[in-house]
C-alpha cells in the first residue's frame, strides 16, 4: 500500500548570526510534527535550510572581512551542528546558494517575466535591510521599520515588479473561503484587514544596488529580490525547475509551512500570488507560530539569560529543552523564555512527575519481585479508571498533535502521568508488599504502572526523541514501540523484567544553577562587547582621516609580474616575482580565488614596497599587491595606460 505523503517545512534561516533558542523553537515544533506523522505511517518530507542571499549578509560579511560565501559557509556549519545536537530529523536541507536552486529561481523569474507577470520600472521607496523588506512612508512606525523598529533607507533604482496587486481579490477569497489555509485564525484577520483590504501594490522583485544574490539571467546587474529567492526554496528543493521533478510531483503541494508570525505576510500573500502566477497548486496550510520572548522583546542578545541553545542542550539535555519549548508556549501564541522557567519545568514536570514515576515503578518491581513481575497478577479496583483515562489520553493527544497543539498534547500526557503517581499513593504498594497474600494484587498494580509508562513513552516520542529509549530500557522493553500499540492497554508482557538505571531527569539545584547561568551570561556579554569593540575599531579605522604625512609613509610603485605560481598546500595564495624598476621582489597575495597564475603574468600592478617582509605559509613576501574588493568580487589595482615599472605612485 502506498503511504500517504506529508510535506512539512520550516522557514529557511538567515545565517546572519548564531541561532538562539527562539530560532530552534520553530524547528523543534516542525520536527515534532514530522516525527509524529512518521510514527503514524506517513511518507514524510521535512525540509529545512538556509536563506543565504541579500544585502544584509553582504554587509555583515564585509564587516568580517570575508566573502559572503565564506561567511555563510561557516554559519551553515554551525546551524547543521545545532540541528544534529537537537535531534532535528530533517529529510532535506536546502541552501539558497546551491546551484540547482539558483538555476531554478532564474527559470521561475524568467517564466514570470515571459508571462507578463513581471515588468520593468523604477523603484523609489524605503527599504529595511535587516528585514529585506520594502515599505512606504505610511507603513512606518515612528519613521522606522514596522517589523523590527530599525531605521529604513531610501532607495531609488531601476527594478522589476511582480504584478502582486492583481491577486488581491483572489487572496482575500483564499483566506475567507479556506479558513484552514492560515492558522491560528487570529492571523487571518490581521492579513485581511491590515494588508489585503487596503489593496496590494505591485512588488519590487529585483535590486541593483548590491551583488550578493541570484542574478536575473536576462538583465545584467539585476539581482532577484531575496524573498522571491527564499520562498521558491519550497519547490526548488523538491526539484521544481530541474531535470527531475519527480519529488516535486510527489510532495507538492506542501501540507504545512510552519513560520513565525512576522513572516506570515510573505507566506500567505506573496507566496500564493507567485504560485498562482506560475499556475501551481497552493500549500495546504501556513501555520504562523508566536515568538519566544525574552526581556520583554522578541528574543535578542540577552541580559542575564542564556539563550544559546547549544549551552542549554549540553547543560540540561536536548529533550528537556525540547520539552520546555513545546510545553511552555502554546503553539501560535507568544511565550516567555527565562532560565528560571526552564529549570522549574525540568524540576516539576520532568524530574518530579515523570522521572519519579519511572524510578518508583522500576524501584518497586526490583525491591518486591527481584526485578521480574510474576505472571500471576490481580486487577485493582482503580484499574478500570486508569485504563479508560489512558485510552482517552491517547485519543486526545492524537487530536492535539494533528492540530499541532503540542503544549496541549504534553499537558494531556502529564495529566496521565500525575494520575499514575496518584495511583501509587492510592494503592499503597508498600502496604501490599508486607502481606504475602496480596502479592498478585501488588504485581497487578506494578504492571499497570509499567504499561502506563510504556504508553507514555510512545506519546512523548515526537517531542522528546531520546527519552523513550531510556525509559524503555529500564522497563526491559527492547527496540521500538509502534504508535498504534498505544491504542491497546496490556501489550507489555506480564512478566516485566526491569533494569534499574540512573534518574532520567535529575533534579536541579535552582540557586546554584541560576548563579552559574549569571556567570555564563556575564561571560557571553563580555565576549559580545569585545566583538562589538573590534567592529567599532574597524569602522573607526575606515572613517578616520589621515594627513599627507601619514599617506607619505606608504611607498607605492608600479610593478610588472614576471612569473607567478600557486603556493603549495594553499588554495588562497599565489606567489609572484614582481619587477619594480631595477629590482625583482617576491610577493605573496591571497588572490588565488579570483586569479590564476596565467591571468596575471605580464600584468602591471600597484605594489606597496616599504611593507615589512613576512612569511606566508613559509613563503617570503616582500611587499603587497593592491586590490579592490566588493562583496564576493576582487580586482587587482593597475595604472591607467602604460608606464615603466618602478614608477612611483603619489
Ligand atoms: N529567511 C527568512 C525566512 C524565509 S522562509 C522562505 C527568515 N529567517 S530568520 O532566520 O530571520 O527567521 C527564521 C524563523 O525563526 C522565523 O520563522 C522566525 O519567526 C523564527 N524566529 C526568530 N526568532 C524567534 C523567536 N524569538 N521566537 C520564535 N521564533 C523565532 O525570516
Ligand 1 atom 18, closest CA: 260
Asked whether 264 and 187 are in contact (CB, 8 A), the reply is yes
Residues 627-641 have a mean pLDDT of 84
Give dist(CA 344, CA 356) in Å, integer: 15
Distance 72 CA to ligand 1 centre (A): 17
Residue spans per domain, the chain: 339-487, 552-649
Q: Which fold has domain 339-487?
A: Isoleucyl-tRNA Synthetase; Domain 1 (1.10.730)
Instruction: Identify the residue whose C-alpha is closest to ligand 1 atom 7.
Output: 13
Q: Can you give the pLDDT at residue 131?
A: 79
Q: Is the pLDDT of residue 1 over 60?
A: no
Ligand 1 pocket mutation, candidates 8, 10, 13, 333, criterion most atoms within 8 A of CB: 13
Q: Using the predicted structure, report yes or no on whether residue 363 has a pLDDT greater than 90.
A: yes
Mutate to test the pocket of ligand 1, among 8, 9, 10, 11 (most ligand atoms within 8 A of CB): 11
**Within this chain, domains 339-487 and 552-649 share the same CATH topology:** no
Residue 288's pLDDT is 94
What is the Å distance from ligand 1's center to 11 Cα? 6
At 302, the pLDDT band (50, 70, 90 cuts) reads: very low
Q: Which three cell numbers stand for residue 495?
A: 512478566
Residue 557 has pLDDT above 80, yes or no: yes
- pLDDT per position as a tens digit, 224-253: 999 999 999 999 999 999 999 999 999 999
pLDDT value for 540: 67
Residue-level pLDDT at 526: 83
pLDDT in tens, 436-466: 999 999 999 999 999 999 999 999 999 999 9
Average pLDDT of every residue of the chain: 92
Kindly report the protein residue whose alpha carbon is nearest to atom 6 of ligand 1.
Answer: 231
Q: Best of 263, 264, 295 to mutate for ligand 1, by most ligand atoms within 8 A of CB?
A: 263
Q: Residue 392 has what pLDDT?
A: 98
Question: Is the pLDDT higher at 258 or at 292?
Answer: 258
Read off the pLDDT of residues 140-171 as tens digits, 9 standing for 90 and up. Answer: 888 888 888 888 888 888 899 999 999 999 99
The angle at the Cα of 500, spanning 496 to 502, to the nearest 5 degrees, equals: 140
Task: Give the residue-averaged pLDDT of 294-314.
Answer: 70
CB 90 within 8 A of CB 46: yes
Closest C-alpha among 553, 604, 562 to residue 586: 562
The residue whose C-alpha atom lies closest to atom 16 belonging to ligand 1 is 260
- Phi, psi (degrees; rounded to nearest 5) at 124: -135, 120
Residues above pLDDT 90, as percent of the chain: 70
Phi and psi of 573, rounded to 5°? Answer: -100, 140
Helix extents (H) in 317-405: 318-328, 339-345, 356-369, 383-402
Please state the rounded mean pLDDT for residues 528-553. 74
State residue 301's pLDDT score. Answer: 45
Q: What mean pLDDT comes out for the span 397-416?
A: 97
Residue 586: which H helix or E strand, with range? strand 583-589
CATH topology of domain 552-649: OB fold (Dihydrolipoamide Acetyltransferase, E2P) (2.40.50)
| Residue closest to 9 by CA, chosen among 106, 85, 92, 80 | 92
Summarize the confidence of residues 350-379 as an average pLDDT.
97
Residue among 210, 217, 219 nearest 121 (CA): 219
Amino acid at each position: 500500500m502506498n503511504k500517504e505523503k506529508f510535506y512539512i517545512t520550516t522557514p529557511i534561516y538567515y545565517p546572519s548570526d548564531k541561532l538562539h533558542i527562539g530560532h530552534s523553537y520553530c524547528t523543534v515544533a516542525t520536527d515534532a510534527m514530522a516525527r509524529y506523522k512518521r510514527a503514524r505511517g506517513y511518507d514524510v518530507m521535512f525540509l529545512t535550510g538556509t536563506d543565504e542571499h541579500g544585502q544584509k549578509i553582504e554587509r555583515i560579511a564585509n564587516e568580517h572581512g570575508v566573502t559572503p560565501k565564506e561567511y555563510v559557509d561557516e554559519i551553515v556549519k554551525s546551524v547543521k551542528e545545532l540541528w544534529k545536537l537537537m535531534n532535528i530529523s530533517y529529510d532535506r536541507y536546502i541552501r539558497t546558494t546551491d546551484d540547482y536552486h539558483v538555476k531554478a529561481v532564474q527559470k521561475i523569474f524568467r517564466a514570470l517575466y515571459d508571462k507578463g507577470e513581471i515588468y520593468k520600472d523604477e523603484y523609489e521607496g524605503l527599504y529595511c535591510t535587516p528585514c529585506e523588506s520594502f515599505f512606504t512612508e505610511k507603513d512606518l512606525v515612528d519613521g522606522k521599520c514596522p517589523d523590527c523598529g530599525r531605521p529604513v533607507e531610501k532607495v531609488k533604482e531601476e527594478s522589476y515588479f511582480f504584478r502582486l496587486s492583481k491577486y488581491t481579490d483572489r487572496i482575500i477569497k483564499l483566506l475567507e473561503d479556506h479558513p484552514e489555509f492560515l492558522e491560528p485564525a487570529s492571523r487571518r484577520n490581521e492579513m485581511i484587514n491590515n494588508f489585503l483590504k487596503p489593496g496590494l501594490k505591485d512588488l519590487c522583485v529585483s535590486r541593483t544596488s548590491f551583488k550578493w544574490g541570484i542574478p536575473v539571467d536576462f538583465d545584467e546587474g539585476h539581482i532577484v529580490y531575496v524573498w522571491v529567492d527564499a520562498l521558491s526554496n519550497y519547490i526548488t528543493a523538491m526539484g521544481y525547475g530541474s531535470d527531475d521533478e519527480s519529488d516535486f510531483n510527489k510532495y507538492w503541494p506542501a501540507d504545512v509551512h510552519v513560520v513565525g508570525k512576522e513572516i506570515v505576510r510573505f507566506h500567505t500573500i506573496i507566496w500564493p500570488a507567485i504560485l498562482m502566477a506560475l499556475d501551481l497548486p497552493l500549500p495546504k496550510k501556513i501555520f504562523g507560530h508566536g515568538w519566544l520572548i525574552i526581556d520583554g522583546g522578541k528574543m535578542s542578545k540577552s541580559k542575564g539569560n542564556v539563550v544559546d541553545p547549544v549551552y542549554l542542550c549540553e547543560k540540561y539535555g536536548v529533550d528537556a529543552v525540547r520539552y520546555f519549548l513545546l510545553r511552555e508556549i502554546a503553539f501560535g501564541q507568544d511565550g516567555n523564555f527565562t532560565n528560571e522557567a526552564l529549570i522549574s519545568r525540568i524540576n516539576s514536570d520532568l524530574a518530579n512527575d515523570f522521572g519519579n514515576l519511572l524510578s518508583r515503578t522500576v524501584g518497586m518491581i526490583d525491591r518486591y519481585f527481584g526485578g521480574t513481575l510474576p505472571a500471576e497478577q490481580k486487577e485493582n479496583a482503580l484499574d478500570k479508571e486508569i485504563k479508560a483515562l489512558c485510552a482517552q489520553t491517547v485519543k486526545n493527544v492524537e487530536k492535539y498533535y494533528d492540530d499541532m497543539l503540542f503544549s496541549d498534547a504534553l499537558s494531556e500526557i502529564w495529566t496521565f502521568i500525575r494520575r499514575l503517581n496518584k495511583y501509587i499513593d492510592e494503592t499503597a504498594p508498600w502496604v501490599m508488599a508486607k502481606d504475602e497474600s496480596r502479592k498478585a494484587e501488588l504485581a497487578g498494580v506494578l504492571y499497570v504502572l509499567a504499561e502506563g509508562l510504556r504508553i507514555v513513552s510512545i506519546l512523548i516520542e515526537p517531542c522528546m526523541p531520546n527519552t523513550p529509549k531510556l525509559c524503555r530500557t529500564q522497563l526491559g522493553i527492547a527496540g521500538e514501540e509502534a504508535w498504534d500499540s498505544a491504542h491497546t492497554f496490556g501489550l507489555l508482557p506480564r512478566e516485566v523484567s526491569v533494569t534499574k538505571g540512573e534518574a532520567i531527569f535529575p533534579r536541579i539545584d535552582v540557586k546554584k544553577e541560576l548563579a552559574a547561568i549569571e556567570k555564563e551570561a556575564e561571560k557571553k556579554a563580555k565576549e559580545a562587547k569585545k566583538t562589538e569593540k573590534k567592529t567599532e575599531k574597524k569602522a573607526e579605522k575606515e572613517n578616520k582621516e589621515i594627513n599627507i604625512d601619514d599617506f607619505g609613509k606608504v611607498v607605492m610603485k608600479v610593478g610588472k609580474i614576471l612569473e607567478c605560481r600557486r603556493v603549495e598546500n594553499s588554495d588562497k595564495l599565489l606567489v609572484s616575482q614582481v619587477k619594480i624598476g631595477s629590482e625583482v621582489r617576491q610577493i605573496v597575495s591571497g588572490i588565488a580565488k579570483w586569479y590564476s597564475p596565467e591571468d596575471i603574468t605580464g600584468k602591471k600592478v600597484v605594489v606597496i614596497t616599504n611593507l615589512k617582509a613576512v612569511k606566508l605559509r613559509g613563503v617570503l613576501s616582500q611587499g603587497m599587491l593592491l586590490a579592490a574588493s566588493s562583496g564576493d568580487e576582487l580586482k587587482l589595482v593597475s595604472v591607467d595606460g602604460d608606464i615603466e615599472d618602478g614608477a612611483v605612485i603619489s
